């Protein structure tokens, strides 16, 4: 069975095949694009006490898009303290979660769903919450937050 590290490597490879470039290799950053945040969750966290939103430790990928001001958007994602506006903010404001890196599809602000499709077809992954981060998705993704399978938690389709 592939380890979580193997699965993460396949996930990154599949985003690069779509045209993704690691944020560190882009200078300056493009003004628009789709992006994948690779997030390490160190321990089990309950995102909101009043909702059954508990996530297990592991590696998660969130796919988003910005039709303008992409650099400001990415800066915002990395800020720990901010008003909660999007679903993903519940994770990025948590002390046990950390954005490890970001892969950007420059000038392709319509590709967030393509990122999710690529991850589903090339890696062992699962969706922790239906519709999480995808309230405005028009392509029927189960969610825009996906968990990269952990060898301790076998993939269940």
- CA dist 36 → 49, 70, 92, 136, 152 (Å): 27, 12, 13, 17, 24
**Cβ–Cβ < 8 Å for 21, 6:** no
Residues making contact with Zn ion (CB under 5 A): 113, 137, 139, 141
Least Å from the CB of residue 24 to Zn ion? 26
User: Which lies closer to Zn ion via its Cβ, residue 50 or residue 136?
Assistant: 136
Least Å from the CB of residue 96 to Zn ion? 26
Least Å from the CB of residue 113 to Zn ion? 3
Q: Euclidean distance between the first and final Cα of the chain, in Å?
A: 15
User: Which lies closer to Zn ion via its Cβ, residue 94 or residue 119?
Assistant: 119
Least Å from the CB of residue 136 to Zn ion? 9
CA dist., res. 39 & res. 93, Å (int): 12
User: Which lies closer to Zn ion via its Cβ, residue 58 or residue 64?
Assistant: 64
**Cβ–Cβ < 8 Å for 23, 74:** yes
User: Which lies closer to Zn ion via its Cβ, residue 94 or residue 109?
Assistant: 109
Q: Which residues pair with 125 in a beta bridge?
A: 148
Among candidate residues 142, 122, 120, 123, the one with its CA nearest the CA of residue 133: 142
User: Which lies closer to Zn ion via its Cβ, residue 141 or residue 149?
Assistant: 141
Least Å from the CB of residue 36 to Zn ion? 13
């Amino acid at each position: 069975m592939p380890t979580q590290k193997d699965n993460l490597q396949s996930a990154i490879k599949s985003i690069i095949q779509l045209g993704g470039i690691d944020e560190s290799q882009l200078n300056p950053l493009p003004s628009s694009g789709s992006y994948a945040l690779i997030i390490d969750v160190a321990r089990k966290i309950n995102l909101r006490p009043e909702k059954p939103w508990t996530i297990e430790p592991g590696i998660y990928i969130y796919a988003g898009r910005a039709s303008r001001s992409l650099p400001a958007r990415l800066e915002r994602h990395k800020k720990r303290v901010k008003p909660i506006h999007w679903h993903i903010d519940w994770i990025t404001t948590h002390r046990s979660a950390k954005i490890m890196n970001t892969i950007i599809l420059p000038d392709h602000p319509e590709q967030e769903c393509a990122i999710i499709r690529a991850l589903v077809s090339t890696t062992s992954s699962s969706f922790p919450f239906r519709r999480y981060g995808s309230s405005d998705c028009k392509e029927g993704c189960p969610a825009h937050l996906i968990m990269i399978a952990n060898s301790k938690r076998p993939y269940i389709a």
